[in-house]
Amino acid sequence: MTTYAFELSGEHETLPRSEALALVEAFSERSSEAAFFDQCLIVQAEGLDVQNLGRRLAMTHRIIEVMAVCQADLPALAGAAEMLDLPARSYMVRARRIKNSSPGADEVEREIGRVLLGRGLQVDLSRPEVVLRAVITGGKIVIGREAARTDRSSFEARRPHLKPFFHPGVLMPRMARALVNLTGVRAGRIILDPFAGTCGILIEACLIGVKGLGIEVQPNLVKGARCNLQGVDCSLLLGDAKRLPLHDSSVDAAVLDTPYGRSAKILAKSKDLLLQESLGELHRVIKPEGRMAIVADRPLDSLLQSSGFEILQQHTDRVHRSLVRHIFLCSRDKR
Protein backbone atom coordinates (compact mmCIF):
# COMPACT_ATOMS: atom_id res chain seq x y z
CA MET A 1 0.00 0.00 0.00
CA THR A 2 1.06 3.60 -0.58
CA THR A 3 1.43 6.05 2.29
CA TYR A 4 -0.25 9.45 1.97
CA ALA A 5 -0.30 12.51 4.19
CA PHE A 6 -3.16 14.99 4.22
CA GLU A 7 -2.26 18.57 5.08
CA LEU A 8 -5.40 19.46 6.98
CA SER A 9 -6.81 22.92 7.49
CA GLY A 10 -7.03 24.33 10.99
CA GLU A 11 -10.54 25.74 10.65
CA HIS A 12 -12.11 22.94 12.70
CA GLU A 13 -10.70 20.61 15.33
CA THR A 14 -12.19 17.30 14.16
CA LEU A 15 -13.98 17.62 10.81
CA PRO A 16 -10.91 17.83 8.49
CA ARG A 17 -9.57 14.47 9.66
CA SER A 18 -13.01 12.83 9.49
CA GLU A 19 -13.69 14.20 6.01
CA ALA A 20 -10.36 12.89 4.69
CA LEU A 21 -10.82 9.46 6.28
CA ALA A 22 -14.34 9.15 4.87
CA LEU A 23 -13.12 9.75 1.32
CA VAL A 24 -10.08 7.50 1.71
CA GLU A 25 -12.41 4.70 2.80
CA ALA A 26 -14.82 5.38 -0.06
CA PHE A 27 -12.25 5.77 -2.85
CA SER A 28 -9.60 3.14 -2.13
CA GLU A 29 -9.57 -0.63 -2.37
CA ARG A 30 -8.40 -0.90 1.23
CA SER A 31 -6.92 1.56 3.70
CA SER A 32 -5.88 2.19 7.29
CA GLU A 33 -4.91 5.20 9.37
CA ALA A 34 -1.18 5.13 10.12
CA ALA A 35 -0.73 8.24 12.26
CA PHE A 36 -2.33 11.54 13.15
CA PHE A 37 -0.45 14.68 14.10
CA ASP A 38 -1.75 18.21 14.51
CA GLN A 39 -3.25 19.10 11.10
CA CYS A 40 -1.56 16.15 9.42
CA LEU A 41 -3.23 12.79 8.81
CA ILE A 42 -1.18 9.85 7.49
CA VAL A 43 -2.92 6.88 5.89
CA GLN A 44 -1.93 3.78 3.99
CA ALA A 45 -4.15 3.02 1.02
CA GLU A 46 -4.27 0.81 -2.05
CA GLY A 47 -5.75 2.05 -5.32
CA LEU A 48 -6.57 5.49 -3.91
CA ASP A 49 -7.98 7.93 -6.47
CA VAL A 50 -5.91 10.88 -5.25
CA GLN A 51 -6.94 13.32 -7.98
CA ASN A 52 -10.62 12.73 -7.24
CA LEU A 53 -9.99 13.43 -3.57
CA GLY A 54 -8.15 16.61 -4.48
CA ARG A 55 -11.21 17.81 -6.38
CA ARG A 56 -13.62 16.88 -3.59
CA LEU A 57 -11.95 17.79 -0.31
CA ALA A 58 -12.93 21.02 1.44
CA MET A 59 -10.84 20.98 4.63
CA THR A 60 -7.52 19.69 3.26
CA HIS A 61 -4.85 21.83 1.62
CA ARG A 62 -2.76 19.15 -0.09
CA ILE A 63 -2.26 15.40 -0.39
CA ILE A 64 1.34 14.19 -0.20
CA GLU A 65 2.73 10.82 -1.25
CA VAL A 66 4.94 10.19 1.77
CA MET A 67 8.59 9.35 1.18
CA ALA A 68 10.01 9.79 4.70
CA VAL A 69 9.07 10.77 8.27
CA CYS A 70 11.86 11.92 10.56
CA GLN A 71 12.41 13.69 13.84
CA ALA A 72 11.93 17.45 13.68
CA ASP A 73 15.57 18.53 13.73
CA LEU A 74 17.93 19.50 10.93
CA PRO A 75 20.44 16.61 11.25
CA ALA A 76 17.62 14.05 11.09
CA LEU A 77 16.10 15.96 8.17
CA ALA A 78 19.40 15.94 6.27
CA GLY A 79 19.74 12.20 6.80
CA ALA A 80 16.19 11.58 5.57
CA ALA A 81 16.70 13.82 2.51
CA GLU A 82 19.88 11.94 1.60
CA MET A 83 17.90 8.68 1.52
CA LEU A 84 14.99 9.91 -0.60
CA ASP A 85 14.52 7.86 -3.76
CA LEU A 86 14.45 10.72 -6.28
CA PRO A 87 14.79 10.41 -10.06
CA ALA A 88 16.73 12.95 -12.12
CA ARG A 89 14.08 15.67 -12.27
CA SER A 90 13.84 19.33 -11.32
CA TYR A 91 12.50 19.99 -7.84
CA MET A 92 10.96 22.72 -5.73
CA VAL A 93 10.78 22.32 -1.96
CA ARG A 94 7.96 23.86 0.06
CA ALA A 95 7.45 23.40 3.80
CA ARG A 96 4.58 24.17 6.15
CA ARG A 97 5.05 24.60 9.87
CA ILE A 98 2.00 23.77 11.98
CA LYS A 99 1.50 26.33 14.74
CA ASN A 100 4.67 26.69 16.83
CA SER A 101 6.45 23.57 15.61
CA SER A 102 10.16 23.81 14.97
CA PRO A 103 12.38 24.09 13.00
CA GLY A 104 10.91 26.84 10.83
CA ALA A 105 9.62 26.29 7.31
CA ASP A 106 12.41 28.35 5.75
CA GLU A 107 15.07 26.31 7.54
CA VAL A 108 13.53 23.06 6.37
CA GLU A 109 13.30 24.25 2.77
CA ARG A 110 16.91 25.38 2.77
CA GLU A 111 18.19 22.15 4.32
CA ILE A 112 16.36 19.88 1.87
CA GLY A 113 17.44 22.11 -1.03
CA ARG A 114 21.06 21.94 0.15
CA VAL A 115 20.95 18.14 0.21
CA LEU A 116 19.32 17.94 -3.24
CA LEU A 117 21.99 20.19 -4.75
CA GLY A 118 24.67 18.10 -3.06
CA ARG A 119 23.19 15.03 -4.72
CA GLY A 120 23.43 16.71 -8.13
CA LEU A 121 19.69 17.23 -8.49
CA GLN A 122 18.27 20.36 -10.07
CA VAL A 123 16.29 22.86 -8.02
CA ASP A 124 13.81 24.93 -10.05
CA LEU A 125 11.63 27.45 -8.19
CA SER A 126 9.65 28.58 -11.23
CA ARG A 127 8.70 25.48 -13.26
CA PRO A 128 9.67 22.37 -11.29
CA GLU A 129 8.80 18.90 -12.52
CA VAL A 130 8.23 17.72 -8.93
CA VAL A 131 7.12 19.62 -5.84
CA LEU A 132 8.45 18.19 -2.58
CA ARG A 133 6.41 19.05 0.51
CA ALA A 134 7.48 18.95 4.12
CA VAL A 135 5.05 19.29 7.03
CA ILE A 136 6.54 20.13 10.44
CA THR A 137 4.21 18.99 13.20
CA GLY A 138 4.10 16.97 16.39
CA GLY A 139 7.87 16.67 16.70
CA LYS A 140 8.09 15.12 13.21
CA ILE A 141 8.79 16.23 9.66
CA VAL A 142 6.72 14.48 7.00
CA ILE A 143 8.38 14.62 3.55
CA GLY A 144 6.95 13.59 0.22
CA ARG A 145 5.84 14.40 -3.30
CA GLU A 146 2.82 16.65 -3.71
CA ALA A 147 0.20 14.38 -5.27
CA ALA A 148 -2.85 16.69 -5.32
CA ARG A 149 -4.01 20.01 -4.00
CA THR A 150 -7.46 21.38 -3.34
CA ASP A 151 -8.83 24.56 -4.87
CA ARG A 152 -9.95 26.14 -1.63
CA SER A 153 -10.31 29.58 -3.23
CA SER A 154 -13.26 28.34 -5.29
CA PHE A 155 -15.33 28.00 -2.13
CA GLU A 156 -14.90 31.71 -1.43
CA ALA A 157 -16.48 32.51 -4.79
CA ARG A 158 -19.58 30.55 -3.72
CA ARG A 159 -20.19 32.29 -0.40
CA PRO A 160 -23.93 32.53 0.25
CA HIS A 161 -24.28 36.30 -0.18
CA LEU A 162 -22.62 36.11 -3.62
CA LYS A 163 -25.23 33.73 -5.03
CA PRO A 164 -28.22 35.03 -7.04
CA PHE A 165 -30.57 34.24 -4.14
CA PHE A 166 -29.56 34.71 -0.51
CA HIS A 167 -31.24 33.82 2.76
CA PRO A 168 -29.53 34.24 6.16
CA GLY A 169 -28.47 31.40 8.46
CA VAL A 170 -27.06 29.00 5.86
CA LEU A 171 -23.89 26.91 5.95
CA MET A 172 -20.71 28.17 4.32
CA PRO A 173 -19.67 26.21 1.20
CA ARG A 174 -16.63 24.50 2.79
CA MET A 175 -18.73 23.20 5.67
CA ALA A 176 -21.46 22.06 3.29
CA ARG A 177 -18.95 20.20 1.10
CA ALA A 178 -17.31 18.58 4.12
CA LEU A 179 -20.68 17.26 5.29
CA VAL A 180 -21.39 15.79 1.85
CA ASN A 181 -17.97 14.15 1.90
CA LEU A 182 -18.57 12.67 5.35
CA THR A 183 -21.26 10.46 3.82
CA GLY A 184 -18.78 9.09 1.24
CA VAL A 185 -21.42 9.39 -1.48
CA ARG A 186 -20.09 8.74 -4.98
CA ALA A 187 -20.62 10.64 -8.22
CA GLY A 188 -23.82 9.61 -9.99
CA ARG A 189 -25.58 8.67 -6.74
CA ILE A 190 -28.49 10.61 -5.20
CA ILE A 191 -28.16 12.78 -2.11
CA LEU A 192 -31.19 14.27 -0.38
CA ASP A 193 -31.57 17.51 1.55
CA PRO A 194 -35.11 17.63 2.99
CA PHE A 195 -34.59 21.17 4.35
CA ALA A 196 -33.05 22.47 1.13
CA GLY A 197 -33.44 26.21 1.72
CA THR A 198 -31.20 28.02 -0.78
CA CYS A 199 -29.65 24.68 -1.85
CA GLY A 200 -26.11 25.42 -0.69
CA ILE A 201 -25.54 21.81 0.39
CA LEU A 202 -26.88 20.40 -2.85
CA ILE A 203 -24.81 22.76 -4.99
CA GLU A 204 -21.66 21.46 -3.31
CA ALA A 205 -22.80 17.89 -3.93
CA CYS A 206 -23.60 18.54 -7.59
CA LEU A 207 -20.21 20.16 -8.22
CA ILE A 208 -18.56 16.80 -7.47
CA GLY A 209 -20.93 14.84 -9.71
CA VAL A 210 -23.48 13.76 -7.12
CA LYS A 211 -27.15 14.10 -8.10
CA GLY A 212 -28.93 16.48 -5.77
CA LEU A 213 -32.52 16.17 -4.63
CA GLY A 214 -33.98 18.91 -2.48
CA ILE A 215 -37.28 19.23 -0.63
CA GLU A 216 -38.32 22.64 0.67
CA VAL A 217 -41.63 23.54 2.31
CA GLN A 218 -41.57 27.31 1.71
CA PRO A 219 -42.64 28.36 -1.82
CA ASN A 220 -40.63 31.60 -1.72
CA LEU A 221 -37.43 29.66 -0.96
CA VAL A 222 -38.12 27.16 -3.74
CA LYS A 223 -38.61 29.98 -6.22
CA GLY A 224 -35.44 31.78 -5.10
CA ALA A 225 -33.28 28.67 -4.78
CA ARG A 226 -33.97 27.65 -8.36
CA CYS A 227 -32.00 30.73 -9.40
CA ASN A 228 -28.99 29.24 -7.57
CA LEU A 229 -29.28 25.89 -9.34
CA GLN A 230 -28.57 27.01 -12.89
CA GLY A 231 -26.09 24.63 -14.51
CA VAL A 232 -26.10 21.90 -11.84
CA ASP A 233 -27.81 18.50 -11.83
CA CYS A 234 -30.28 19.08 -9.04
CA SER A 235 -34.02 18.59 -8.60
CA LEU A 236 -35.87 20.83 -6.15
CA LEU A 237 -39.42 20.06 -5.07
CA LEU A 238 -41.95 21.93 -2.99
CA GLY A 239 -42.77 19.49 -0.21
CA ASP A 240 -42.74 18.64 3.47
CA ALA A 241 -39.84 16.84 5.17
CA LYS A 242 -42.42 15.14 7.42
CA ARG A 243 -44.09 13.57 4.36
CA LEU A 244 -41.40 12.98 1.77
CA PRO A 245 -42.75 12.28 -1.75
CA LEU A 246 -40.20 9.50 -2.27
CA HIS A 247 -40.18 5.72 -2.46
CA ASP A 248 -38.68 3.57 0.29
CA SER A 249 -34.87 3.14 0.09
CA SER A 250 -34.65 5.49 -2.91
CA VAL A 251 -31.75 7.82 -1.97
CA ASP A 252 -28.10 6.95 -1.35
CA ALA A 253 -27.32 9.55 1.32
CA ALA A 254 -28.74 12.62 3.04
CA VAL A 255 -27.26 15.84 4.38
CA LEU A 256 -29.45 18.32 6.24
CA ASP A 257 -29.12 21.48 8.26
CA THR A 258 -32.19 21.43 10.47
CA PRO A 259 -34.16 24.67 11.08
CA TYR A 260 -32.92 26.79 13.98
CA GLY A 261 -32.16 30.42 14.74
CA ARG A 262 -34.20 33.54 14.15
CA SER A 263 -34.35 33.16 10.37
CA ALA A 264 -35.78 29.63 10.53
CA LYS A 265 -39.47 29.12 9.89
CA ILE A 266 -40.98 26.04 11.53
CA LEU A 267 -44.09 24.77 9.73
CA ALA A 268 -45.03 22.23 12.38
CA LYS A 269 -46.57 22.16 15.85
CA SER A 270 -43.08 22.13 17.36
CA LYS A 271 -39.45 21.68 16.38
CA ASP A 272 -39.36 18.36 18.23
CA LEU A 273 -42.31 17.05 16.25
CA LEU A 274 -40.76 18.30 13.01
CA LEU A 275 -37.50 16.47 13.73
CA GLN A 276 -39.17 13.31 14.95
CA GLU A 277 -41.38 12.92 11.89
CA SER A 278 -38.66 14.03 9.47
CA LEU A 279 -36.16 11.52 10.84
CA GLY A 280 -38.73 8.77 10.53
CA GLU A 281 -39.17 9.67 6.86
CA LEU A 282 -35.42 9.85 6.30
CA HIS A 283 -35.01 6.39 7.77
CA ARG A 284 -37.61 5.19 5.30
CA VAL A 285 -36.13 6.71 2.13
CA ILE A 286 -32.36 6.26 2.73
CA LYS A 287 -30.94 2.98 1.46
CA PRO A 288 -29.87 0.53 4.20
CA GLU A 289 -26.17 1.12 3.49
CA GLY A 290 -26.60 4.88 3.20
CA ARG A 291 -25.27 7.52 5.55
CA MET A 292 -26.71 10.79 6.80
CA ALA A 293 -25.01 13.93 8.08
CA ILE A 294 -27.30 16.12 10.15
CA VAL A 295 -26.71 19.52 11.75
CA ALA A 296 -28.75 20.84 14.69
CA ASP A 297 -28.49 23.43 17.42
CA ARG A 298 -28.64 20.82 20.18
CA PRO A 299 -27.71 17.18 20.83
CA LEU A 300 -29.98 14.71 19.02
CA ASP A 301 -28.59 11.41 20.34
CA SER A 302 -31.79 9.92 21.72
CA LEU A 303 -33.95 11.19 18.87
CA LEU A 304 -31.64 9.77 16.21
CA GLN A 305 -31.39 6.40 17.93
CA SER A 306 -35.12 6.12 18.48
CA SER A 307 -35.62 6.88 14.76
CA GLY A 308 -33.45 3.93 13.78
CA PHE A 309 -30.09 5.58 13.14
CA GLU A 310 -26.71 4.51 14.50
CA ILE A 311 -24.51 7.47 15.41
CA LEU A 312 -21.04 6.98 13.90
CA GLN A 313 -19.49 10.37 14.69
CA GLN A 314 -20.31 13.55 16.61
CA HIS A 315 -18.74 16.97 16.08
CA THR A 316 -19.44 20.44 17.41
CA ASP A 317 -18.98 23.75 15.63
CA ARG A 318 -19.05 26.96 17.67
CA VAL A 319 -20.51 29.63 15.40
CA HIS A 320 -20.78 32.39 18.01
CA ARG A 321 -21.48 32.76 21.73
CA SER A 322 -25.13 31.74 21.51
CA LEU A 323 -24.94 29.11 18.76
CA VAL A 324 -23.09 25.81 18.78
CA ARG A 325 -23.86 23.47 15.91
CA HIS A 326 -24.03 19.77 16.69
CA ILE A 327 -23.05 17.58 13.74
CA PHE A 328 -23.88 13.88 13.57
CA LEU A 329 -22.85 11.29 11.01
CA CYS A 330 -25.25 8.38 11.10
CA SER A 331 -25.90 5.09 9.35
CA ARG A 332 -29.33 3.63 8.81
CA ASP A 333 -30.01 0.40 10.61
CA LYS A 334 -31.85 -2.35 8.75
CA ARG A 335 -34.99 -2.56 10.86
Model confidence over 203-238: pLDDT tens digits? 999 999 999 999 999 999 999 999 999 989 899 999
CA-CA-CA-CA dihedral for 12, 17, 20, 26, to nearest 10: -120
Query: How confident is the chain (335 residues) per 10-residue block, as mean pLDDT?
Result: 97 97 96 98 97 97 98 98 97 97 98 97 95 98 97 94 90 97 97 97 98 96 95 94 97 95 56 93 96 96 96 94 93 74
The answer to whether the beta carbons of residues 101 and 71 sit under 8 Å apart is no
The answer to whether the beta carbons of residues 66 and 5 sit under 8 Å apart is yes
Half-sphere exposure of 254 (CA within 13 A, CB side): 34
E strand segments, 150-263: 190-193, 211-216, 234-238, 251-257
What pLDDT was estimated at residue 239?
A: 96
What pLDDT was estimated at residue 267?
A: 60
Per domain, the residue ranges of the chain are: 2-149, 153-332
Residues ≥6 apart with Cβ < 8 Å to 295: 171, 179, 256, 257, 258, 325, 326, 327
Buried b (16+ CB within 10 A) or exposed e, 159-192: ebeebebebebbbbbbbbbbbbbbbbbeeebbbb
- The answer to whether the 2-149 and 153-332 domains have the same CATH topology is no
The answer to whether the beta carbons of residues 244 and 218 sit under 8 Å apart is no
Report the DSSP beta bridge partners of residue 235.
213
CATH number assigned to the domain covering 2-149: 3.30.2130.30
What pLDDT was estimated at residue 266?
A: 57
Residue percentage of the chain with pLDDT more than 70: 97
E strand segments, 2-129: 2-8, 30-37, 40-46, 60-71, 90-97, 122-123
Q: Which class in CATH covers the domain with range 153-332?
A: alpha beta
pTM: 0.94
Other beta carbons within 10 Å of 118: 11
Over residues 20-65, the pLDDT tens digits come to 999 999 999 999 999 999 999 999 999 999 999 999 999 999 999 9
